Every structure is written in C-alpha cells, then in structure tokens.
Amino acid sequence: MQVIRSQILLFLCQLSCSSSIGTRYTPDWASLDSRPLPEWYDEVKFGIFVHWGVFSVPAFGSEWFWWNWKGAQNPNYVQFMTQNYPPEFSYADFAPNFHAQFFDPDEFADIFAASGAKYVVLTSKHHEGFTNWGSPNSWNWNSVDNGPHRDLVADLGTAIRKRDLHYGLYSTLYEWFNPLYMSDKQSGFKTQQFVENKVMPELYNLVNRYKPDLIWSDGDWEAPDTYWNSTGFLAWLYNDSPVKDVVVTNDRWGVGCSCKHGGYYNCADKFTPEQLPNHKWEKCQSVDVRSWGYRRNMKLYDLMDLPTIIKDLVYVVALGGNYLLNVGPTAEGMIAPVFEERLRGIGAWLQVNGDAIYATKPWRVQTENATVPVWYTSKHSTVYAIFTSNPMQNTFMLLAPQTSYSTVVTLLGNPEPLKWAPLQTSGLIVLLPDLPFSPAKAWTLKLERVA
Ligand SMILES: *[C@@H]1O[C@H](CO)[C@@H](O)[C@H](O)[C@H]1NC(C)=O
Ligand SMILES: *[C@@H]1O[C@H](CO)[C@@H](O)[C@H](O)[C@H]1NC(C)=O
C-alpha cells in the first residue's frame, strides 16, 4: 500500500509538479549530475560570450596579459611594458584606465539581440580577480570602486533582460596572483582560505544579487572540487537559490570535472567533437581566434569571417551543441565595428534560416556529402539539411531522408515548394531554384514529413 501510494504520488507529480519539487540534491556528483538541464538552454542554441575586464586596458596579446607578463614572463609582454610604461608601473595601475566611458548597455544588448543570440554570458570576474560588480570581497579591485565606477554586471544584465535574452555570468574559481589563493596552493590545497573568503562569498553574492540564468565556471584546473567546495555550492544553487529552477551550469568545477560533471559540458575551450556527444555540450569560440579579450594588435586575418562562423554554428547545432561566440569590448566600452558586423551578419542569416537552428534536435544522421556537405537538424518529422557551399548546379541529392508521398521540400527564404523525386533505395533529388544571395554562404532545405 505504501509503495503504491508513493507511486501514485510520483505519477501525479510527473503530471503536474515542476521537476524541482520534491527533489533535493545532495552535495555529491551522483546527485548533482542527475539534475535535468533546464529546457531553455537546449532550445536557444546560440549565445554571445563577452570577455571584459582590466585586461581590456593594455589590450595586448590576450586577456591573459598579466599572467604572460608577470607569471610566464613572456618576452613579448615584458618588452611591451618596458617600451611603453614607466618601470614601476604595476598591473593594478591599468585599472583606473578601464573607463568604459562609451558603454551603453542598451547598444550592446541591441547588437547581441540583432545577432539572433538568445543568451549572453559576461565575465563577472576573470583570472585577474577584478570583479565587474561591487563585490564586498574584492576591495578596490572592482568596477564600482575603481575603473568605470559602474556596476557593469547589473547594467548589462538589465539591458539584456529587457530584450528577453537569458543572462549568464562567467566566473573564475582561481585568481592567478591572489595572495590567499597562493597561500592555499602552497599548502597543497589543504587550507581553504581563498575559497572561504573570496570564491564562495562572491559566487553566492553574484547569484543572490543578479539571479543569473547560467553560471559559466572556469579556472578550476589546479585544484580538486573538494578544495573548491563546488558540490556544496551547486547543491545550494539547485535546491535553495533564487534561480534553482532555471539556472544552467557548465562543467568546470575542479580537476577532472570538465567533460564529466556539472550541467552541460564545455570540455576544452573550442571543443570540436567528431561525433554526436551523448551529453548536452557547448562550444565556446572567439571571433578573434587568438584572444577572448579585446586586443589592439588584432589583425583582420585573425578574425573568423561570417561564412566560417555560420559553418561552425551549423556543425555545432547538428551535433547537439550550443554555440557561444565571443567578442571582447574595449576599455572605452565599445564593441569594435568589425565584431558588430559579424554579429549582425549572423542575425541576418538566422532571420531566414533560424527555423533550422532554434529548438531543433540532432537528427539520426548528422552529416552527408552526396552533392556538397550538408548538416542535418530536425523538429519531429521535419528535417533540415543545411549546406555551406554553393553546389553550382540545380539538382541536389540527399541520401539519408526517407520520403513519403506527402513530403514537401522547400528552400528557406524561397516561397515556392521545390520539385523533387525519390531515389531508388532511399533519399531524394531536389530541383533547386537560383540560390538567393547569402553573405554567409549557407542555405537550408526544409524537408517536411520525412523519416
Ligand atoms: C562547503 O560546503 C559545505 C556544505 O556542503 C559548507 O558546510 C561549508 O561551510 C563550505 N565550506 C566553504 C569553505 O565554503
Ligand atoms: C565532399 O565530397 C567532395 C566530392 O566527393 C569532396 O571533394 C569533398 O572533400 C567532400 N567534403 C567533405 C567535407 O567531406
């Protein structure tokens, strides 16, 4: 009787309760990993990553500037400093020049919305430790007391949410030169002063103040998750935090966690799997392939062009991933026009082809190359075949789809259904119209009622 009653309750709950009711997660990976990923994340597919901090002031090399200069003592960085700054100039001296005087959060949000992205992830704190909000645990090393004298996390968040985009926050666990971290490290991570006095208070502060939809953790790789107390934080986040039902997390929560524990998987930066992974994942990629932060010594040939970005997006979505594309704003608070042009180009492509991206699922076949390479996505019995090179002929062969009498084939952006004929064993041949001009060099065949 007891068993039956609880099964009935469980059944009723599946019908009407939100998934979180009744589930308490315990601070261990078996429990935390069993949490279903909030649905919005798989549907949105495309987000913008924003790396912004004091590193945007020297804007040289990459956002790892401080480390390259003082940690690795890379000669390029050492020389850049000796040639351009007085000898006693410290990294902290860059902060007052993080003015962000042209920063208009609504303008940022307009550009991001125009790109077709559905979520934005801002670096609230990168490995330099400078917080883009007034963290009480980061005295004078935060954007309210220093630099812009603004709460960048709040200001961007408000603008992003006005446009109905999801707002995520990147936060690093480790900080290269934080004395508390260095002392814990010296103890072989047996002490947790840094975690107690900096990492945890700041994570809780971020979540309670800004209610992010996503936490993008990083900088986990030098110490185990037991040092970081990651499972304790995640259990609170999933059970009791103000975002417990919507928040999504990644997988960087301690040595060996990446690609294995947490919410979705980032695995390595720019993760590029060859086959369909069996867990939700995200590829983060930067328009400037050599840096996540803005750098003044960026060259045009270091930038992904629009067709390359679209190809990457399409490949990622076909393999079940999300695509998080990064731009680094300048210290003055501008998004370089060349980045803006890329983002608006993606949006223009998604205006026509977004049906083949948003809220799709991977299909039973991910790719084939009978005419030119295609990537497949699907929604129920509709299959999208996206191709990123012009076949230069008016027939297009697809071998994988199984057609029926009621199959309808269209080219997205072209009003008329297309003529097609089944092939002998499986697949079809489609008569293409003249392809519409596409600066992204990518088009979509939509196949309705195929298997
Ligand atoms: C770690 O998390 C536990 C809860 O799981 C908590 O009791 C403890 O105080 C936390 N320690 C730190 C250093 O945050
Ligand atoms: C697709 O097929 C063509 C012709 O067979 C070949 O030249 C090309 O390299 C293939 N592309 C991919 C990505 O496999």
Tell me the residue type at 200. Answer: M
Does the C-beta of 16 come closer than 6 Å to ligand 2?
no
Residues 162 and 175 both lie in one domain: yes
Q: Which of the listed residues 292, 324, 356 is the one where a domain comes to its end?
A: 356
> What is the C-alpha to C-alpha distance for residues 10 and 308, in angstroms, rounded to an integer?
48
Residues 157 and 304 both lie in one domain: yes
- What's the confidence (pLDDT) of residue 23? 86
Residue range 5-48, pLDDT digits in tens: 445 444 444 444 445 456 899 999 999 999 999 999 999 999 99
Residues 365 and 316 both lie in one domain: no
- What's the confidence (pLDDT) of residue 301? 98
Q: Which of the listed residues 356, 372, 391 is the one where a domain comes to its end?
A: 356
Q: Which of the listed residues 356, 391, 414 is the one where a domain comes to its end?
A: 356
Q: In the predicted model, is pLDDT for residue 78 greater than 60?
A: yes
Domain count, the chain: 2
> What is the C-alpha to C-alpha distance for residues 431 and 419, in angstroms, rounded to an integer?
5
Residues 224 and 132 both lie in one domain: yes
Per the structure block, which two tokens stand in for 71? 């940690």
Residues 146 and 269 both lie in one domain: yes
Residues 211 and 284 both lie in one domain: yes
What is the pTM assigned to this prediction? 0.94
Q: In the predicted model, is pLDDT for residue 82 greater than 90?
A: yes
Residues 102 and 249 both lie in one domain: yes
b/e per residue 283-299 (b: at least 16 CB within 10 A) = bbbbbbeebbbbbeebe
- Residue of 200, 205, 225, 231 best suited for mutating to test ligand 1, as the one with most atoms within 8 Å of CB: 200
Task: With respect to residue 383, please indicate whether it lies within any of the assigned structural domains.
Answer: yes
Per the structure block, which two tokens stand in for 229? 């107390």
Which residue, 32, 33, 9, is CA-closest to 22? 9
- What's the confidence (pLDDT) of residue 9? 45
> What is the C-alpha to C-alpha distance for residues 54 and 63, in angstroms, rounded to an integer?
9
Task: With respect to residue 4, please indicate whether it lies within any of the assigned structural domains.
Answer: no
Residue range 408-421, pLDDT digits in tens: 999 999 989 999 99
Does the C-beta of 278 come closer than 6 Å to ligand 2?
no
Residue range 360-380, pLDDT digits in tens: 999 999 999 999 999 999 999
Place of tokens 């900080």: 175
The helix, strand and coil proportions of the chain, stated in percent and rounded to the nearest 5, come to: 35, 20, 50
Does the C-beta of 373 come closer than 6 Å to ligand 2?
yes
Confidence of residue 296 (pLDDT cuts 50, 70, 90): very high
- What's the confidence (pLDDT) of residue 37? 98
Mean pLDDT of 280-293: 98
Residue range 232-276, pLDDT digits in tens: 999 999 999 999 999 999 999 999 999 999 999 999 999 999 999
- Residue of 229, 231, 239, 241 best suited for mutating to test ligand 1, as the one with most atoms within 8 Å of CB: 229
Task: With respect to residue 340, please indicate whether it lies within any of the assigned structural domains.
Answer: yes
Q: 363: CA distance to ligand 2 center in Å?
A: 21
Q: Which ligand has the shortest distance to the CA of 370?
A: 2
For position 386, which CATH number holds? Answer: 2.60.40.1180
Residue range 90-112, pLDDT digits in tens: 999 999 999 999 999 999 999 99
The full DSSP string for 81-130 is HHHHS-TT--GGGGGGG---TT--HHHHHHHHHHTT-SEEEEEEE-TT--
To the nearest whole percent, how much of the chain has pLDDT over 90? 94
Task: With respect to residue 10, please indicate whether it lies within any of the assigned structural domains.
Answer: no
Residues 434 and 291 both lie in one domain: no
Does the C-beta of 232 come closer than 6 Å to ligand 1?
yes
Provide the residue range defining the domain that includes 385. Answer: 361-448
Residues 344 and 415 both lie in one domain: no
- What's the confidence (pLDDT) of residue 138? 97
Residue range 212-226, pLDDT digits in tens: 999 999 999 999 999
For position 247, which CATH number holds? Answer: 3.20.20.80
Task: With respect to residue 27, please indicate whether it lies within any of the assigned structural domains.
Answer: no
> What is the C-alpha to C-alpha distance for residues 285 and 266, in angstroms, rounded to an integer?
11
Task: With respect to residue 393, please indicate whether it lies within any of the assigned structural domains.
Answer: yes
Q: Which ligand has the shortest distance to the CA of 367?
A: 2
Residue range 180-230, pLDDT digits in tens: 999 999 999 999 999 999 999 999 999 999 999 999 999 999 999 999 999
Q: At 234, phi and psi to the nearest 5? A: -65, -35
- What's the confidence (pLDDT) of residue 21? 58
Rounded to 5°, the CA angle 143-214-30 comes to 130
Per the structure block, which two tokens stand in for 313? 């997006």
Q: 424: CA distance to ligand 2 center in Å?
A: 23
Residue range 113-169, pLDDT digits in tens: 999 999 999 999 999 999 999 999 999 999 999 999 999 999 999 999 999 999 999
Residues 102 and 178 both lie in one domain: yes
Residues 150 and 288 both lie in one domain: yes
